[in-house]
Amino acid sequence: MKNKPTVLIIEDDVALNEAYVTILKTAYENVFTAFNGEEALQVAEQHNPDVIFLDLRMPVMDGIGFLESYQPKEKHPDVHIVVFSNYDMQAEVDKAYDLGAERYVLKALATPSSLLKIVNDLS
């Protein structure tokens, strides 16, 4: 783990995406964003993130689709993936865990400071 972790935010809601970037940029330099899974795969390929905040419900490619292609267990064992979603249907969350997600955080509960703390804890 680098001293300054690279964080990837995958969030389709523009306002939230901007909010998270703003919050994380107060503490970390390398913060990248993507608005769907497909885009995220390209960004991840380019920037090799250390921590990924992954929304589940997204257009084009959703969070599960991203995990299936990204294959964190097999190909990116060192990347911390935090499922960051308001969509808390158990089945879908379970599937994300199975595919290699490390934590699940309900977006509605996260505060700006808790967001920073998560990255800090994982780094």
Partner 1 sequence: MTKETNSVLNFKELFRSLETAYIVFDANDPVFTVIEENEAHARIAMVERDSVIGKPVLEAFPDTSEEYLTKGVSRLLESFRKVIKTGQPDTMPDLSYDLKDHSGKMTTKFWEVTHYPVFEDGKVIAICQQTSDITEKTLARRELTIAQDQLERALDYSEVGTWMWNLDEDKVLADKNLVKLFGIGDGSKQMEVPLSELTKRVHPDDAGRVKESITKALTKKSSSYESEYRTYDNEGNIRWLLARGHVEVDKTGKPVRFPGLVVDITKRKIAEKSLHILAKANTQFSASLGYRQTLDAIASMIVPDVADWCSIDILENGKIEQVAIAHKDPEKVKWAKELRAKQGPVSIDAENGSALVIRTGKIEHTPVVTDEMLVAAAKNKKELKLLRDLDIHSVITVPLKIDGITIGVITFISTESHRHYDANDVEIAQGLANRAALAVYNANLFQDAKTEIDERKKLQDRLEKFNSVLEDRVKKRTLQLEKTNKGLQNEIERRHKLESQRVQHYIDLNKTKDDFISLASHQLRTPATGVKQYVGMILEGMAGEISEMQRSYLQKAYESNERQLTIVSDLLKVAQVDAGKVRIRPKMIDLSELLTDVIKEQQDTYAARKQDVRFVAPSFKAIAYADPDKMRMVLENMIDNASKYSDPGKAIRVSITNHDEAITVSIKDNGVGVAPEDIEKLFEKFNRIHNHLSDHVGGTGLGLYWAKKVVDLHGGTIKVTSTLGKGSTFSVCLPKNSDIAKTTVKIGE
User: Does 21 contact partner 1 by CB under 8 A?
Assistant: no
Length of the chain: 123
Q: Which stretch binds partner 1 (CB under 8 A): 29-37, 44-52, 59-67, 83-91?
A: 83-91
Question: Closest distance between partner 1 and the C-beta of residue 16, in Å?
Answer: 5
Which of 1, 29, 42, 106 is in the footprint of partner 1 by CB under 8 A? 106
Which of 99, 107, 118, 119 is in the footprint of partner 1 by CB under 8 A? 107
Strand-pairing partners, residue 86, are none
- DSSP for residue 51: E
Enumerate residues 6+ apart whose C-beta is below 8 A from 123.
1, 5, 50, 51
User: Does 38 contact partner 1 by CB under 8 A?
Assistant: no
Q: Are 76 and 40 in contact (CB under 8 A)?
A: no
Question: Closest distance between partner 1 and the C-beta of residue 11, in Å?
Answer: 10
Q: Which of 54, 51, 73, 56 is nearest to 119 (CA)?
A: 51
Which of 43, 65, 76, 87 is in the footprint of partner 1 by CB under 8 A? 87
Q: Are 6 and 47 in contact (CB under 8 A)?
A: yes
Residues that bind partner 1 (CB under 8 A): 13, 15-16, 19-20, 22-23, 26, 57, 86-91, 94, 97, 104, 106-113
